[in-house]
Structure 1
Amino acid sequence: MSITGTIEGIKACVFDAYGTLFDVHSAVGKHRHRLGDSADPVSILWRTKQLEYTWLRSLMGYHADFWQVTGDALDFAFDMHHIDNPDLRRDLMEAYLKLDCYPEVPAALATLKDRGLRLAILSNGTPAMLDAAVKNSGIEGLIEKNFSVEDVGIFKPDPRVYRIAVDGLKVKPEEIVFQSSNAWDAAGASAFGFKVAWVNRFGQSEERLPGRPDAEIGDLMKLPDLLI
């Protein structure tokens, strides 16, 4: 799939946070020297287990907020790599509140806002986590609302999560274009009824799931050209 055609009738752009706006691997990146050769494997496993725990908790009916899930996933990654360092764990969790945004994000959001589009985040993150990430990235003046799954107590891709943005912005699903770098999230949002631009930063394959993105882009600077 490529950027072909346009997406029409959009009133609001809603963004996933982690991996889409914010670089989840930048937390470990800040402490790479302390992890040495384990840095990349720990970061990848941390992210993998973080997502797995959201899905598994949703299926099990045992919700915990994303801060706890993130800590649990880090503990698993540490155990797998035989790391016992409470100070490093604390510092990595703190770094997760101050993730770097991807370089093009501020300019892309500013362009969309200048065109009169409403901008919001819809994320698994807790309100406090999202507020911290947005503030750290300096994009708080561009984002109208941060929507968290904590409003419904279940994680993406449950349809109740996507409904939060519809109710909060008071627009129709088809008037929202949703952006995520996670192929499974793009599929979930499409199945719900959003228009979807999949931000395929990492060259993933498209998921074999219900729902299909309307467009595929490599980064967010390409999004304004899709919308009319």
Structure 2
Amino acid sequence: MTLAPSVLAADFGRLEDHARQALDAGADWLHIDVMDGHFVPNISFGAPVMRGLRALADEFGAPLDVHLMIEDPDRYLDAFAEAGAATITVHQEACPHLHRTVQAIHDLGCLAGVALNPATPLVTLEEIAPDLDLVLIMSVNPGFGGQTFIPGSVDKVRRCRELLARTGSRAVIEVDGGVAPGNVRAVVEAGADVIVAGSAVFKGDVAENVAAFRRATATKV
């Protein structure tokens, strides 16, 4: 399991230090949630804040995993690529010309992901799946941290794994929203490769929280 703490849940007054705690504890990626107040009912931050984490990410060899919850994401792909994004994920619901957007992300030298809101069916990825590096299954409605995991997301992850196999896609599956040590094992066993966790990592003892995720997904002998 790749663990990607969402810095949206970190203490912005000490963002770099809080992110460092997660990486020191063994987190793998840093997940960057970008919100515009239009596509989702919240505003977070943009490329300049992410750029401030680039040196830390490079120090640990931790990819910056950018999730654009914004309208017309094509306008900002260059900025996030320049700021150091390894992966740029856009929402299927925000991209009328999704193939063009995915191609543009690849042309910038980044891995390309597509996210689906909880009510968006997997069939919308049928044509684009072979071109993707990552599929992000939202297990809460996007916009705010700390929400409760939608139980049906486990089956959606399982069906996404089947779709990727059927279409010959090598994309990894990322799950974002309400995942915690108490439910992460079911999500991983359903086929998730990457787990995004915000509050479950940054609220309380960061090192212990990361360790709890590792214990929950450790192979039992």
TM-score range relative to shorter protein: 0.3 to 0.5
Relative contact order higher in (CA < 8 Å, ≥ 6 apart): 1
Q: TM-score, normalised by structure 2?
A: 0.34
Give the greater-gyration-radius structure (CA). 1
Bigger helix share: 1
Q: TM-score, normalised by structure 1?
A: 0.33
